[in-house]
Amino acid sequence: MSLRDLLQTGLKEAMKAKAADRLSTLRLINAAIKDREIALRGEGEAGEVDEAAILSILGRMVKQRQESARAYEEGGRLELAEKELAEIAVISEFLPRQLAGDEVDAAIAAAIAEAGASSIRDMGKVMAVLKGKYTGQMDFGAVGPMVKDKLA
């Protein structure tokens, strides 16, 4: 079952269960996907976004909510922080399992070998390989310095 189908099924189940918070989050996800499709049409590309683009959208949504939750906690608005964390939990259900530390190291080593990288100049090639294979499974902001260390 495709990710888009899973989202639609989740939306229907949330409607039937009258789970307002979950339904709201799922509608936000669908709206973000539709916004991306509209943007693609504006660029002259017709059609639906693919699975990788949906994973990218979901990852971006999680990151935004983490930053918002942190800001709310610092500002003493714990009820809003809890709402953001609840949205993260719903969004994370549709993301693939995050890789553990040793799995990330193995993925980086494999990507370096696949890209034939030998110096820091090849970092873009390695990151492209990682993003192609592991979108949604690792935090590329944290992986970048690790790749840089291995190539240095």
Identify whether residues 51 and 115 lie together within a single domain. Answer: no
Please give the single-letter amino acid code of residue 114: E
pLDDT in tens, 65-96: 999 999 999 999 999 999 999 999 998 888 87
DSSP 47: S
- Domain with 132 in it: 101-151
The reported pLDDT for the residue numbered 48 is 76
pTM of the model: 0.71
H or E element: which one contains 15? helix 3-17
Looking at the structure, do residues 47 and 119 belong to the same domain, yes or no? no
CB 107 within 8 A of CB 135: no
Whether residues 78 and 15 share a domain: the answer is yes
In this structure, the answer to whether residues 105 and 132 fall within a common structural domain is: yes
CATH of the domain at 106: 1.10.10
Give, as one character, the DSSP assignment of residue 98.
Answer: P
Distance of CA 131 to the CA centre of its chain: 11
Name residue, tokens 């939306």: 11
Q: Indicate the pLDDT class of residue 46, thresholds 50, 70 and 90.
A: low
Residue 102 has pLDDT above 90, yes or no: no
